[in-house]
Amino acid sequence: MKVVTSRFGEVEVTQESIVTFPSGLVGLPNHSRYVVFDVEQDSEYQWLQSLDDETLAVVMLPADVLEPNFAQHITAESVMDLDLKGDDQISISVIVTIPPGRPDQATANFRAPIVVNLSTRIGKQIILHESIPLHVPLLPDGQEVEESASVCVQGAMKT
């Protein structure tokens, strides 16, 4: 199926690549169909592109890139509607916020991760306890922004 997006132009996506969020994302309950695009081949960064609104896409990153043990915060109860079976794998990602023109100030939202059942392609954004950080800096003070993050920033600034 061909999809038109504001960032990527017209792209071909397969039905199997679509992730469905029955409840939408936080603040976006009417946007339930998304597809994931890699920023570039060797980068951990990805775009979560809405198929319901060509202008809506967010940058995300696998949670374990920044916090290897983050999965311990995800309870079976919080992902019950993902209909996980015994051998189903999940992915856990965090949304990245990049302030305009300040990629060195980018943060990841660990309080509202995105969890996807990789077998069924059903996803859910869950809200964790307030003790989980909302804004985790991606870079320690003074560290340079890697090239793939710059690509994300440039793409995000085009909207």
Strand 57-62 versus strand 90-97 pairing type: antiparallel
H/E run at residue 154: helix 147-157
Q: pTM of the prediction? A: 0.82
Tell me how far apart the alpha carbons of residues 59 and 94 are, in angstroms, rounded to a whole number. 9
Domains of the chain: 2-157 (2.30.290.10)
- Backbone φ and ψ for 149, nearest 5 degrees, come out as -70, -35
Please, where are the H alpha helices in 17-124?
A: 63-66
Q: What is the mean pLDDT of the chain?
A: 84
Tell me how far apart the alpha carbons of residues 98 and 72 are, in angstroms, rounded to a whole number. 26
Q: What is the pLDDT of residues 71-128, one digit of tens each?
A: 999 888 898 889 898 889 999 999 999 888 888 889 999 999 999 999 999 999 999 9
Per-residue confidence (pLDDT) for residue 140, from 0 to 100: 67
Residues in the chain: 159
68: DSSP letter:
T
Per-residue confidence (pLDDT) for residue 93, from 0 to 100: 96
Segment 32-50 mean pLDDT: 86
Q: Is the pLDDT higher at 35 or at 133?
A: 35
Tell me how far apart the alpha carbons of residues 150 and 82 are, in angstroms, rounded to a whole number. 33
What confidence category does residue 157 fall into, taking pLDDT thresholds of 50, 70 and 90? very low
